[in-house]
Structure 1
Amino acid sequence: MCDTDHNEPASSPQFSRRHAIGLGAAAAAAATVVPGLTGRQAAYAAAEVSPDNYEAPTGLALDSNAKDTALGVIDRTADAITGLNDTIWEYAEPSLAEWNSALAEADFLRRAGFRIQWAVGGLPSTFVATFSNGTGSPVIGFSGEYDALPGVSQKKGSTEHDPLVYDDDPYSPNYGYGHGCGHSALGAAAAGAAVAVANALRRHRLDGTVKFFGSTAEEQLVGKSFDVMKGVYDGCDVFVDWHPGRNTSTGFGSNNALKAIAFNFSGTHGHGGSPLGNKNAQNAVRALTMLTDLIREHHVAPSGRIHHAIRHSAEAPNVHAALAGAWYFVREATPERVAILAQKVSDCAQAAGLAMQMDVHERVVANIWNMLPNKRGAELVHDNMVQIGAPEFTDEDQAYGKGLQAAAGIAQNGFSTGVADLRPPADTFLGGGSTDVSDISWIIPTLSLGTPVSPSGTANHSWLTTGSTVSHAGHTALVVAARYLAAIAVDLFTQPALVAEIKAEHAARTANVQWASLLPADFQPPAIAPPDWFLKRTGQKWPNGQITWPPERIVGHTKWESIGPPIPPGNVQPYE
């Protein structure tokens, strides 16, 4: 989940979804893992490379006719790629309900000769698009995301906050959904790269398979981790990922593991004017948030994070809520540390329920690993970035970027230029964002990168990124991202020794870990029933037999509170 972004200027490194994401963290096949480090620790251990004498290698990215073909396809179809981004941006659909967005991405690939399979793991707005040539080996995977965020709607072109969608509730106004994490660009650039690489395979008669995984609900950290558990990603040799950011970069650090929990409290209905004996579930939520805030000082390390959203509470002051809840994200450096911190949060929920004398309904909705990076893969990514060059922004682009920065009250230096140096991760891991790409990284070597779709210093999950994603500058950066992805994939298809090296590093890094999904085998993910028109368009049925439907209802049976026997009538005698 991209709470921040990994693409900050080299002078101001930050960890986040994809820089923290991960990108490499050890020597390649020939290197040895530091003794005493488990595979989990090695995922973010800077000890494997000395920052003082590390220099990114060159010569990994090779010129080839196939690469020229792929890059040429992207150049010729740039308008179609940016058009796909703009279409998905306009839809701005929430996690688990990206019906139009998923179809737009799948249709783009289908028209290019890809075979589309819907809901392989069971989630209806996911798909796998496949193109094979020759022997079909190796298999290179691309990542497509398309979910938007609540509350970050923004009109195109404006450098002031101006929501495109505004919910004019007189008591609680809100802004609409928007692509404040740039997933419209993410999916569009990856789809464009996948089509370009398929063209290169076909034209130059190269063996291989391109697989594009359309994934739902990355912002809720649901889609990929569930599909990994279901085996949807099995068979890939290397997975190539990118994320819109604020500079042109890759790296080899890790990110945070995460557990997401929804807590709901069952109270009683009641009148706000007659509160005695009522059990307002809103009060239990308030008690929970107070308790989790109080544990931060003594129980949350620098790498830890606890944050929440109150999704439902009282709807009116004079109607006490019989059901109210909060949704928590708990992050830490490793799954073991997440489990400890998440248990403390669960204990707070139980304590709040006990204090308010209400039932507590707890549901785990996501549980993901930290990123397992690949150093040799990051070096391949960086070499291609340097050879192709950074996005070139116009004076108008930079003026727009500075306008956004002025609105945010930060330094007005526009969009980042140049390619950031490839650097080892910091000695101390201080935490950051999370992503369900991490679960993929433990079964498939995963490469990642970012480009400056939004100007330096701005934040993902904000209206600034929403607007920038459909700007001319955003278009420029996403097309360059597509070029990087395509070039990297062609190198993987044309250099079998490099694929072997990347896979050998991954095998060495996972040798000391018995990896398994953190989700239970019977895990039922959050899901939304698809509309009939979507089922018809995709050839699906609902329920589909893979996800339990309808989901279990939470219906409370809490009793009203007794305040004791009535006070006897008459005057109270004073003490003598």
Structure 2
Amino acid sequence: MSANGQALSRRRIMQLLGAAGVTTAVMAAETDPAMAASADDTPSAYQAPTGLAQDSPAKTTALDWIKGNSGRITALNSEIWENAELSLREWNSSLAEAGFLEKAGFDVEFGTAGFPTAFTATFSYGSGGPVLGFSGEYDALPGLSQHKGVGHHDPREYVHDPFAPSYGPGHGCGHSALGTAAAAAAAAVAQTARKHRLPVTVKFFGSTAEEALIGKTYAVSKGVYEGLDAFLDWHPSTSNATGWGSSTAMTAVTFTFLGVAGHGGTPLGNKSALDAAVMMATMSEFLREENLAPSGRLHWVINNGGDIPNVTPEIAEISYYVREGSPARVQVLLDKVIAVSEAAAKASQTKVRHRITSACWNQLPSKAFAELMHDNMRQIGPPEYSDEAHQLAKELQESLGLPQKGMHAEVAALTAPNPVFMGGGSTDVADISWNVPTVSMGAALAPIGTKMHTWSTASCAAAAPGQAALLAAARYLAATAVDLITQPERLKAIKAEFTERTKDVEWKTSLPDGYEPPMYEPPQWFLKKTGQSWPPDNITWPPKRVVSQEKFSSLGPELAPQT
């Protein structure tokens, strides 16, 4: 509260903090259109409205359909969890999700935006109704294999290698449940529209490679999501909550260093690409003190560093995720990272090139949409966790050294965003949010205190905690979608807020000109089953080879013999 007892707006708090010299990032909303559109003047004493979500026969039908088909829904989650397929290679998982929607009356077309495992499923009833979009994902993460429902680290797929043991992929972000719940919600809305004769078009977007932030960002740039009135999204979490905060914009970039190979026993003149990657990693760490604001994040991994110690690596690759509060701020930080790569190449006498693999904006929030979603979550209640779910959660928490609090068995209060943006994760849903009003919410699939992208989440995703969370998420999504159909004034208000927030911003993809998305060639059986041909017309195939043509380093003129 201010001295006169009035609640301070988000913008005023940012001004005060900026005047106190916190960082220029705090003030960025005043000059950066993307951050300004994400800001909000909601007072700190915000109280969430009630009475927005309305009971109706249509909503009852949707919720009853989810309950009546819970066995089929949880079975789909289990099937995708078992597949555990990596980004851009979700052959069986995409087919399973598409098949579920076809049985619900959707028309399915594979190859959205040229991605073999992306598809668009469409259901229409009547004319003149809203066009509602749902977001489905189904890719797993490398190295996170874990037996289902086991409370300690126990990889389901252990890859034996005496020099480099590893684990197989696993659903450590819960996308098996994410795509399943969204598909269930879309199907429930379709059945409801048919029964109650409600004009609507439901579009479900099966999206590939979310873990690499590739699928949706590129698809948005190709106009895939045009024509929607609203877009509903969810993600597994450690709590049951929604809100209207933003996310970080991000650019993913891979640097390739090229040197000259040679035997380690005679190293003179060799040019080590690995040395260059290590120098880059070391130098980029020095950016943190003076070039990384609280809203920024910088992560890296050496994903190719050679094969055997006595051969100097002639090719090495290091990949970075560069995150900030807006695309403009990402670019500033990215330019500094690129400069570091050039310095490392010069010092190591190697050549360096870089390629952008993905890039997304910060998310544009929707307060009105979040309020409607929250009221539905509040009325429906938290996920129905069994004793088995809580027991698994506590075993995992004990294994990880965390307080044994079990699952988050309540719906969190709706609160205004932190007035100072402090960074965090990124999502390729963000680019959709600048083109259509979007709501995101989370349902607790993982125990309190744990983190996404871990084996403990994979343990829960298709076990008791995950199955409860996905059924709740399906209900939240379906109920909110039904309100948009039966209460057109709610949708009108959401769209009006979207228009106001975007009036000073022109969205333009952060992907570079001439960008070609990375892809893997599908197996022939998949192409035949989905009616596709290879390659799609938006990529060059086969891709250009990366081969070092560097020469050994000179040590100078021969030394004259000593006499």
- DSSP-derived class of the 1:283 partner: helix
**Residue 50 (structure 1) aligns with:** 43
Q: Deviations over 1:496-518 (max 9, x none)?
A: 11111101100110000121111
Equivalent in 142, 155, 158 of residue 163 of structure 1 = 155
Counterpart CA distance in 2 for 1:45 and 1:232 is 27
Contact 1:38 1:512 in 2 (8 A): no
Equivalent in 106, 120, 125 of residue 112 of structure 2 = 120
Q: Give the CA deviation at 1:522.
A: 2.3
Contact 1:368 1:518 in 2 (8 A): yes
- DSSP-derived class of the 1:79 partner: helix
Q: Deviations over 1:394-446 (max 9, x none)?
A: 22221111100001101111001111000001121110000100000000100
Contact 1:43 1:371 in 2 (8 A): no
Equivalent in 531, 545, 549 of residue 553 of structure 1 = 545
Q: Give the CA deviation at 1:43.
A: 3.9
**Residue 150 (structure 1) aligns with:** 142
Structure 2-normalised TM-score?
0.94
Q: Deviations over 1:129-181 (max 9, x none)?
A: 00000005310000000110011110112111000011111101111100000
> What letter corresponds to residue 85 of structure 1 in structure 2?
N
Q: Give the CA deviation at 1:493.
A: 1.1
**Residue 405 (structure 2) aligns with:** 413
> What letter corresponds to residue 293 of structure 1 in structure 2?
E
- DSSP-derived class of the 1:121 partner: helix
Q: Deviations over 1:240-296 (max 9, x none)?
A: 000011111001110100011110011111101111100121111101101101111
**Residue 290 (structure 1) aligns with:** 282
**Residue 356 (structure 1) aligns with:** 348
Mapping of residues 156-305 of structure 1, within 5 Å: 156-305=148-297
Q: Give the CA deviation at 1:556.
A: 1.7
Contact 1:39 1:511 in 2 (8 A): no
Mapping of residues 473-512 of structure 1, within 5 Å: 473-512=465-504
Q: Give the CA deviation at 1:521.
A: 4.3
Mapping of residues 362-373 of structure 1, within 5 Å: 362-373=354-365
**Residue 61 (structure 2) aligns with:** 69
**Residue 35 (structure 2) aligns with:** 41
**Residue 51 (structure 2) aligns with:** 59
Counterpart CA distance in 2 for 1:120 and 1:433 is 25
Contact 1:249 1:422 in 2 (8 A): yes
Contact 1:222 1:365 in 2 (8 A): yes
> What letter corresponds to residue 564 of structure 1 in structure 2?
G
- DSSP-derived class of the 2:492 partner: helix
Counterpart CA distance in 2 for 1:245 and 1:351 is 40
Contact 2:89 2:520 in 1 (8 A): yes
Counterpart CA distance in 2 for 1:530 and 1:310 is 27
Q: Deviations over 1:26-80 (max 9, x none)?
A: xxxxxxxxx957642234324x10122x111111111111111111110011111
Q: Per chain length, whose mean CA-contact separation is higher, i.e. which structure has more relative contact order (CA < 8 Å, sep 6+)?
A: 1
- DSSP-derived class of the 2:244 partner: coil
Contact 2:356 2:512 in 1 (8 A): no
In terms of fraction of residues, the more helix-rich structure is 2
Q: Percent identity?
A: 52
- Whether 2:450 is the aligned partner of 1:464: answer no
Counterpart CA distance in 2 for 1:100 and 1:454 is 25
**Residue 566 (structure 1) aligns with:** 558
Structure 1-normalised TM-score?
0.91
Counterpart CA distance in 2 for 1:524 and 1:56 is 44
Unaligned ranges ≥5, structure 2: 1-28
- Whether 2:430 is the aligned partner of 1:441: answer no
> What letter corresponds to residue 56 of structure 2 in structure 1?
S
Question: Could you tell which deviates more after superposition, 434-443 or 119-128?
Answer: 119-128
> What letter corresponds to residue 515 of structure 2 in structure 1?
F
Counterpart CA distance in 1 for 2:306 and 2:35 is 44
Q: Deviations over 1:432-477 (max 9, x none)?
A: 0001000000001001111111110001000000001111121011
Counterpart CA distance in 2 for 1:473 and 1:282 is 43
> What letter corresponds to residue 526 of structure 1 in structure 2?
P
Contact 1:38 1:513 in 2 (8 A): no
Q: Deviations over 1:2-34 (max 9, x none)?
A: xxxxxxxxxxxxxxxxxxxxxxxxxxxxxxxxx
- DSSP-derived class of the 1:319 partner: coil
> What letter corresponds to residue 136 of structure 2 in structure 1?
G
Contact 1:143 1:213 in 2 (8 A): yes
Question: Could you tell which deviates more after superposition, 249-258 or 518-527?
Answer: 518-527
Contact 2:300 2:320 in 1 (8 A): yes
Q: Give the CA deviation at 1:550.
A: 1.6
> What letter corresponds to residue 144 of structure 1 in structure 2?
G
Counterpart CA distance in 2 for 1:298 and 1:235 is 44
Report runs of 4+ in structure 1 exceeding 3 Å deviation: 35-39
**Residue 423 (structure 1) aligns with:** 415
Q: Give the CA deviation at 1:388.
A: 0.5
Counterpart CA distance in 1 for 2:145 and 2:281 is 27
Counterpart CA distance in 2 for 1:402 and 1:87 is 25
- DSSP-derived class of the 1:329 partner: strand
Q: Deviations over 1:75-111 (max 9, x none)?
A: 0111111111110101101111111111111111011
Counterpart CA distance in 2 for 1:81 and 1:551 is 39
Q: Give the CA deviation at 1:358.
A: 1.1
Counterpart CA distance in 2 for 1:73 and 1:115 is 20
- DSSP-derived class of the 2:113 partner: coil
Counterpart CA distance in 2 for 1:137 and 1:556 is 57
Q: Give the CA deviation at 1:484.
A: 0.5
> What letter corresponds to residue 484 of structure 1 in structure 2?
Y
- DSSP-derived class of the 2:58 partner: helix
Counterpart CA distance in 2 for 1:323 and 1:375 is 48
Contact 1:136 1:209 in 2 (8 A): no
Contact 1:260 1:327 in 2 (8 A): yes
Q: What is the aligned-residue RMSD (CA, Å)?
A: 1.3
Counterpart CA distance in 1 for 2:398 and 2:311 is 43
Counterpart CA distance in 2 for 1:517 and 1:173 is 39
- Whether 2:78 is the aligned partner of 1:86: answer yes
Q: Give the CA deviation at 1:313.
A: 1.1
